[in-house]
Amino acid sequence: MTTSLHLTRRRLLQGAATTLLATPMLNRAWAADPTTINMLAWYGHAEPDVVAEFEAANNVKFVPKYYAGGDNMLALISQSPPGTYDLILSDAEFVQQLNAAGYIEQMDPSLYPFDDFFPEFQKFPGHWTDDTLWSVMVRYGLLGVSYNTDALTREEAMSYNCFWNPKVTGKVGHFDWHLPSLGQMSLLNGNKPPFDIDEAAWAAVQEKTLSLKPQVGGYFDYGGTFSSLKNGEMLAMVGIGDWITGVLEKDGAKVASVIPEEGGIQWTESYSIGVGTNKHEIINKFINYMLGAEGQVKSIQMAAYPGLSPNKTGWKAIQAANPDEAKRSGLIEGADNDPIKLLREGRIFFRDTPKQQSLEDWNDFWSDYKSA
């Protein structure tokens, strides 16, 4: 009996040893501590619905610091020592400020699939200095009129003048960031592009914005914008678009967004590599993952807020993965809400920082407007 037990135990040990020797690499990556990637981004970009599969496949862990608005991003990064952030998700209009301040590294264009991008996005304004690349566009979206469909008709919402409609008095909200709202007021005043205006036009934008004050019921952060539209506290919202109402629509809220006759504004998000990181290989692998079919489907349908794809691969992938979402978001060539068609028709303008005033000028007015 004892001999039999010893033989059985010996065979078990020999079998285990043979298995280990036969598979020397088995789960070695899983046994190692994951590589940490510190990301500065808008909320949602490091959440499981976007990064979990990449994390599992590559033994990495994203550690996010979230912000809302480019001004807040600049404030956060200026307070952090070099090397704090490996990957920075920035609004496109702030990339050159990151570059000028020395917060981001030059990138190698040959590493990214720019040939797959729509021509308008291949050399996106602010991402390049001549032929030097500083940031890679990953997603974008459109800002227009967002409204409660029980309060306003689509036809009424097709002009920014709807914010003055008596039906929404006291229930017009602002997303609390000056660039989107003042850009829309500038478009209403006929300024195209809306962020490159002289002092007379700037004075007129301020006057127009102040005239809206009696209609306004509040100024909201990211979460407040969602909740105030969802519960009907606000019936129209300045400075946002489908990135907010798209989420609410899926939950059954009676809201929608349109690009009005005066035109819309495009927000653009892009990845830059933080100065001081030593994780270039895995960061570039992640950027390319997000620009591929799987990553773009995740980006378009991001739970925090939806976006649009800058490349043809993304359009084809979402059409196959979720035809209803492709239709809803206009990612079908020739559709009425096709964002590339709208851009080529001259109805979309890239969000930017002020060209003839300082960013502080616009921000100071915004503070005065809120307290008026």
| CATH number, domain with residue 88 | 3.40.190.10
**Residue 307 resides in a domain:** yes
Size of the chain, expressed as the number of residues it contains? 372
Is this structure's pTM higher than 0.85? Answer: yes
Q: 178 with 293, same domain?
A: no
Give pLDDT, residue 7. Answer: 39
Q: What is the pLDDT of residue 4?
A: 42
Domain of residue 150 covers 142-265+350-371
Assigned domain for 17 exists: no
Number of domains composing the chain = 2
User: Is 10 a residue whose pLDDT tops 90?
Assistant: no
Please indicate, yes or no, whether residues 241 and 366 belong to a single structural domain of this protein. yes
Interval 50-85: pLDDT, tens: 999 999 999 999 999 999 999 999 999 999 998 999
Burial class (CB in 10 A: 0-12, 13-18, 19+), 119: exposed
- Cα distance between residue 258 and residue 41, in whole Å: 26
Supply the pLDDT for residue 18.
45
Based on the domain organization, do 52 and 161 belong to the same domain?
Answer: no
Q: What is the average pLDDT across 194-209?
A: 98
Instruction: Answer yes or no: is pLDDT of 273 > 80.
Output: yes
In a domain, 108, yes or no: yes
Burial class (CB in 10 A: 0-12, 13-18, 19+), 281: exposed
